[in-house]
C-alpha cells in the first residue's frame, strides 16, 4: 500500500470494525450480481446490468464510515454496494433493475441509477448516467453543509461531509476537475473516493490520466489531502478509508482517496471483455477483494461458521427479495408523464418531493399578490432584478446568489450590485470560472435545501453547463418525485447595441426543450419582478432570461410593482386588443411589435407570452380564433425556433378558424453578427415586422 500525501497520514482512530456487517453487506451485493448475471439478464428480466463485482468490499467499508447525520453522497452506476450499506433495501435494488413498481425511479431510469433521499442520515443524490456528473453536485452539498451550519445555525450539519464516488476514467471529466478546483479553493468537507479498476469500459487508466495514477498526479495539488492504496487488501483499505473520512470530518478540508480494485465482470452485461486478454483477467481474479477478505478475516476475526452464516443469509435475502419482486407489478404506464414539474394532489396541496428545495423542510413562502402595487418612478429592468433579489434575500435566508463576478463587482451587468455588501460573502459570492461548477454546485445546494440563484454571465456560456442543466431538469421525473432541485438560473443574453456569436445568442428554444425547466423571458421591468419572485418562491428549476437590450431600455421601464408582486407562469399578457390579426412575441421583440403595429396602422392583438415553458396556449388560441390571422415574431433563429411550436399548435387547433397561413418572422439561421449593419440586416426590426403585418392582413 502506498500513501502519497501532501499532509502526512495520521493514524486512524482505533474503533472496532464490525466485520460481520461488512461480510453481510458485501455478500448481498455479490449475490445480487450473481443473480442478475446468471439468471435475470439472460432471461431479459434485467436489461442493463452493471456489476459491482470487485468493488463491493471497499464500498461497504466506505458506507460504514458515513454516519454523519447530514452526510451526502454523489455516486455513479457502480455505487450499489455503497447504497446497500446506506439503506437501500434488497427489494428496492431488485425492483429497480427489474423495472418494477417500488423501484427508486418507478421504472423510469436504469436500475443501478439510484437515489436515497434522507434527512436523518446519509443521503444519496440522484445518480446520473453521465460519467463525471456526480462531482459538482457533491461540491454543492458540501458547501450547503457549511452554509447551513454557519448561516442557518443548523447544528445537524456539524461534522457532516460530502463524498463523491467515481471510477478512474471519471477523473478525466470536466465535472471532476471543476469539483476538485472548487472543493480545494473553498476548503470544503468533501471526499473524492476513486475506485480505480484499471479501465473506462475498455480504455486503460493510463489513457485517462498520465502514468495511470490520479492520486500520484494530484499529490502536489494545493489544499488536497491525497491517499492511495490497494482496495484488494481490505484490512489496510479499511484503515485508509477511516483515515480519509475522519480527516474530512475533522475539518481538514477535501481529500482524495484512490483505491485500486479489479473489475471482475464486463463493464456492463453486454461487455465480453475481449480487449483484456486472459492473463489480465486471471490476474484480476487473483486480486478479488472478497476472497482476500475471507483470508484476512477467517479465522482471526470471524469463525468459518460465522462467515458461512452471513453468506447464506445474504443469498436467502436476495432469493426472497427476488420472489417478492417477481410478484410485483410493472410500472404504471399511465403515470409516465407525471412529475416533470411540481404537481398537486387531489385535495389541492402540493405533491411534494421528499427532498430538495425549501418546501420539504417546511418552508412557507411569504404571501404574494398578482396585482402590481405600482408606485414610485419607473425603474429599468436591471434594477427590477436587483431589487427583487434583494428583497428575496431579505425574507428568505436560504437564498444564495452566485456566479462569475457577481460579488464585489456586482455582476458584469450590475444586476447584483451592492448585494454582497449587504448580505455578506456566504450569501452572495463570486465563483471560479466554471459553468459546470456553477450549475452542478447549485444542484447540490438545492438538494440540500437551499434556493440557489446562479448567474450564467452570457447565454452562450451556459454551454459548458449543459449536462448539469439537463440532469437538473429531469431530476424530479427520473426519481418519480423523490428529489427535485428548484433553483433560478439567471441568464443575460440576446443582442445589445450590436450582436456577436458569444454574448448575443438568444436560443431560448433550447431551454424549452430542456425537460423540467420553466422558462421566463420578460419584456419589461414589472414582469421581470413578478416572474423572478414567483420563481424564487417556487418549487421547480427556472431559467430566467434577462435580455441585454432591455436591461436599461427605456420601453422596458416600469414602476416597481411591490415586494409581494408575482406573475404566474404560463399566463400571457395581452398588451393591446384588435381584430385584424394576432401578433405573438416575447422578450425584446415585444417593444418592436408594438411599434410595428402602430406603424402599420392595423388593429391587432399583441400577446406577450412572458414565459415559454409553460406557454399560454389558451390565450394564443383565443386571440387567433378571434382575429383569424397570426404573426409570430422572435429573435431566436427560425428553424425549429419556438415559433414553429406555436405555429404547429395553431395549425392543428385553429385550422378552421384561420383566414391566412400562420406567419413567422425571426432571425434567419445565422449566428448573431457583430456589426450593427449586419445585425440590422437579420434581426426582425420595426419596418420588417410592420411589412409582415401589412402583408398578412392583405392575404
Peptide bond into 299 cis (omega under 30): yes
Q: Of 139 and 379, which CB lies nearer to ligand TPP in the complex structure?
A: 139
Q: Which conformational region is residue 533 in: left (phi greater than 0), alpha (psi within -120 to 50 degrees), or beta?
A: alpha
Question: Contact 175/132 with Cβ under 8 angstroms?
Answer: yes
CB closer to ligand TPP, 407 vs 514: 514
Residue 576 per-residue DSSP state: E
Q: What's the CA gap between 267 and 76, in Å, rounded? A: 13
CB of 197 to ligand TPP, least distance (A): 5
Q: How far is the CB of 302 from ligand TPP (least distance, A)?
A: 29
Contacts of 621 (CB under 8 A, 6+ apart): 649, 650, 653, 654
613's enclosing H/E stretch is strand 611-613
The answer to whether the beta carbons of residues 690 and 599 sit under 8 Å apart is yes
Residue 215 Cβ, how far from ligand TPP at the closest point, in Å?
14
- CA–CA distance from 549 to each of 284, 438, 524, 542 (Å)? 61, 25, 11, 21
DSSP states along 101-132: TTSTTTTSS-TT---B--SSS-EEPPP-SSTT
How far is C-alpha 357 from the chain's CA centre?
Answer: 12
Judged by CB, which is closer to ligand TPP: 78, or 478?
78
Nearer to ligand TPP among residue 121 and residue 130 (C-beta): 130
Number of residue whose CB is nearest ligand TPP: 167
In sequence order, which residues have a C-beta less than 8 Å from that of residue 286 and are 6 or more positions away? none
With beta carbons less than 8 A apart as the criterion, state whether 446 and 400 touch.
Answer: no
Taking CA 62 as the corner, what is the angle to CA 56 and CA 63, rounded to the nearest 5 degrees?
85
Q: Are strands 581-585 and 604-608 parallel, antiparallel or unpaired?
A: parallel
Place of cell 461497504: 60
At its nearest, how many Å lie between ligand TPP and the CB of residue 522? 34
Cα separation, 149 vs 141, in Å, equals 12
Q: Could you tell me the smallest distance in angstroms from the CB atom of residue 475 to ligand TPP?
A: 17
246 vs 281, beta carbon nearer ligand TPP: 281
- Residue 623, Cβ neighbours under 10 Å: how many? 24
Give the nearest distance from C-beta 166 to ligand TPP in angstroms.
6
| Nearest distance, CB of residue 55 and ligand TPP, angstroms | 7
- Name the nearest CA neighbour of 667 among 642, 648, 693, 696: 642
C-alpha 22 chain-centroid distance? 32
Which residue blocks in 601-675 are alpha helix, DSSP H? 617-627, 642-653
Smallest distance, ligand TPP to C-beta of residue 56, A = 12
Measured CA to CA, the distance from residue 570 to residue 163 in angstroms comes to 39
Q: Is 120 exposed, middle or buried (0-12, 13-18, 19+ CB in 10 A)?
A: exposed
Backbone angles phi, psi at 286, to 5 degrees: -70, -20
Give the burial string for 508-533 (b: 16+ CB within 10 Å, else e): bbbbbebebbbbbbbbbbbbbbbbbb
The single residue listed with the C-alpha cell 391587432 is: 604
Active site annotation includes 503: yes
- Which residue from 185, 257, 180, 193 is spatially nearest to 226, judged by alpha carbons? 257
Query: How far is Cα 615 from Cα 623, in angstroms, rounded to an integer?
Result: 14
SS3 331: coil
Q: How far is the CB of 467 from ligand TPP (least distance, A)?
A: 7
φ, ψ dihedrals at 161, nearest 5°: -135, 170
Of the candidates 202, 212, 322, 195, the residue with the CA atom closest to the CA atom of residue 268:
202
**Cβ at position 171, least distance to ligand TPP in Å:** 8
Residue with Cβ nearer ligand TPP (129 or 212): 129
Q: Cβ closer to ligand TPP: 74 or 403? A: 74
Judging by DSSP bridges, how do beta strands 451-455 and 542-547 pair with one another?
unpaired
- In the set 267, 391, 503, 547, the catalytic residue is 503
Show the cell assigned to 467.
449536462
> Are the beta carbons of 112 and 47 closer than 8 angstroms?
no
* CB 177 to ligand TPP: min, Å: 14
- Closest contact distance (angstroms) between CB of 191 and ligand TPP is 17
CA dist 386 to 60, 135, 416, 535, 643, Å? Answer: 48, 31, 6, 15, 30
User: Exposed, middle or buried, 43 (CB in 10 Å: 0-12/13-18/19+)?
Assistant: exposed
Nearest in space to 77 (alpha carbons), one of 128, 122, 38, 115:
128
Complex with ligand TPP: residue 24 or 165, whichever CB lies closer: 165
Minimum CB distance to ligand TPP smaller for 241 or for 381: 241
Binding residues vs ligand TPP (CB under 6 A): 78, 129-131, 166-170, 197, 199-201, 263, 267
For ligand TPP, the closer of residues 53 and 533 by Cβ is: 53
The CB-of-127 to ligand TPP minimum distance in angstroms stands at 11
3-state DSSP assignment of residue 1: coil
Active site residues: 503
Amino acid at each position: 500500500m502506498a500513501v502519497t500525501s501532501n499532509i502526512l497520514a495520521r493514524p486512524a482512530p482505533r474503533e472496532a470494525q464490525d466485520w460481520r456487517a461488512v461480510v453481510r453487506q458485501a455478500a448481498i451485493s455479490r449475490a445480487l450480481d450473481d443473480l442478475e448475471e446468471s439468471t435475470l439478464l439472460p432471461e431479459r428480466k434485467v436489461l442493463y446490468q452493471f456489476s459491482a463485482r470487485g468493488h463491493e468490499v471497499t464500498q461497504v467499508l466506505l458506507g460504514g464510515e458515513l454516519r454523519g447525520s447530514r452526510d451526502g453522497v454523489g455516486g455513479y452506476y457502480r455505487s450499489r454496494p455503497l447504497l446497500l450499506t446506506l439503506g437501500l433495501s434488497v427489494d428496492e435494488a431488485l425492483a429497480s433493475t427489474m423495472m418494477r413498481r417500488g423501484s427508486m425511479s418507478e421504472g423510469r431510469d436504469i436500475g443501478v441509477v439510484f437515489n436515497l433521499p434522507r434527512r436523518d442520515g446519509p443521503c444519496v443524490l440522484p445518480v446520473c448516467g453521465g460519467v463525471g456528473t456526480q462531482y459538482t453536485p457533491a461540491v454543492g452539498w458540501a458547501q450547503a453543509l457549511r452554509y447551513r451550519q454557519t448561516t442557518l445555525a443548523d447544528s445537524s450539519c456539524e461534522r457532516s461531509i460530502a463524498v463523491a464516488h467515481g471510477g478512474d476514467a471519471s477523473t478525466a471529466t470536466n465535472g471532476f476537475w471543476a469539483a476538485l478546483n472548487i472543493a480545494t479553493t473553498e476548503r470544503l468537507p468533501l471526499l473524492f473516493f476513486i475506485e480505480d479498476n484499471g479501465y473506462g469500459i475498455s480504455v486503460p487508466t493510463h489513457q485517462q490520466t498520465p502514468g495511470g495514477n490520479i492520486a500520484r498526479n494530484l499529490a502536489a495539488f494545493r489544499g488536497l489531502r491525497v491517499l492511495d492504496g490497494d482496495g484488494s487488501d481490505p484490512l489496510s483499505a479499511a484503515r485508509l478509508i477511516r483515515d480519509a473520512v475522519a480527516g474530512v470530518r475533522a475539518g481538514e478540508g477535501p481529500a482524495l482517496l484512490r483505491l485500486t480494485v479489479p473489475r471482475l465482470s464486463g463493464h456492463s452485461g453486454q461487455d465480453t471483455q475481449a480487449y483484456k486478454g486472459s492473463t489480465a483477467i486471471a490476474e484480476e481474479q487473483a486480486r478479488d477483494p472478497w476472497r482476500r477478505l475471507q483470508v484476512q478475516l477467517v479465522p482471526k476475526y470471524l469463525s468459518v461458521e460465522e462467515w458461512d452464516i452471513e453468506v447464506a443469509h445474504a443469498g436467502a435475502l436476495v432469493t426472497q427479495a427476488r420472489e417478492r419482486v417477481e410478484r410485483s407489478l410493472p410500472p404504471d404506464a399511465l403515470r409516465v408523464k407525471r412529475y416533470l414539474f411540481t404537481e398537486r394532489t387531489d385535495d389541492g396541496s402540493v405533491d411534494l418531493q421528499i427532498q430538495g428545495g425549501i418546501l420539504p423542510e417546511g418552508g412557507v413562502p411569504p404571501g404574494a399578490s398578482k396585482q402590481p402595487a405600482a408606485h414610485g418612478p419607473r425603474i429599468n429592468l436591471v434594477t427590477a432584478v436587483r431589487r427583487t433579489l434583494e428583497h428575496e434575500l431579505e425574507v428568505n435566508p436560504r437564498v444564495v446568489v452566485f456566479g462569475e463576478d457577481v460579488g464585489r463587482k456586482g455582476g458584469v451587468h450590475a444586476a447584483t450590485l451592492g448585494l454582497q455588501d449587504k448580505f455578506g460573502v456566504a450569501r452572495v459570492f463570486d465563483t471560479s470560472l466554471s459553468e459546470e461548477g456553477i450549475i452542478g454546485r447549485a444542484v447540490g445546494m438545492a438538494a440540500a435545501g437551499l434556493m440557489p440563484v446562479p448567474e450564467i454571465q452570457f447565454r452562450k456560456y451556459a454551454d459548458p453547463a449543459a449536462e448539469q442543466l439537463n440532469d437538473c431538469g429531469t431530476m424530479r421525473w427520473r426519481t418519480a418525485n423523490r428529489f427535485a432541485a428548484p433553483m433560478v438560473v439567471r441568464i443575460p443574453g440576446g443582442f445589445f447595441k450590436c450582436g456577436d456569436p458569444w454574448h448575443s445568442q438568444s436560443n431560448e428554444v433550447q431551454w424549452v426543450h430542456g425537460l423540467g425547466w420553466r422558462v421566463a423571458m420578460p419584456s419589461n421591468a414589472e414582469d421581470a419582478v413578478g416572474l423572478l419572485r414567483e420563481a424564487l418562491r417556487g418549487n421547480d428549476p427556472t431559467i430566467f432570461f434577462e435580455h441585454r437590450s432591455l436591461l436599461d431600455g427605456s420601453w422596458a421601464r416600469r414602476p416597481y410593482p411591490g415586494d409581494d408582486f408575482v406573475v404566474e407562469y404560463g399566463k400571457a399578457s395581452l398588451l393591446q386588443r384588435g381584430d385584424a390579426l394576432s401578433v405573438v412575441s416575447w422578450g425584446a421583440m415585444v417593444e418592436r411589435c408594438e411599434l410595428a403595429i402602430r406603424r402599420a396602422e392595423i388593429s391587432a392583438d399583441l400577446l406577450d407570452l412572458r414565459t415559454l415553458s409553460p406557454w399560454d396556449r389558451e390565450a394564443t388560441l383565443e386571440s387567433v380564433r378571434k382575429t383569424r390571422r397570426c404573426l409570430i415574431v422572435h429573435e431566436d433563429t427560425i428553424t425549429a425556433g419556438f415559433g414553429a411550436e406555436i405555429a404547429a399548435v395553431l395549425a392543428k387547433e385553429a385550422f378552421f378558424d384561420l383566414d391566412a397561413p400562420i406567419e413567422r418572422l425571426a432571425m434567419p439561421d445565422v449566428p448573431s453578427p457583430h456589426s450593427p449593419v449586419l445585425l440590422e440586416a437579420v434581426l426582425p426590426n420595426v419596418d420588417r415586422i410592420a411589412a409582415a403585418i401589412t402583408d398578412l392582413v392583405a392575404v
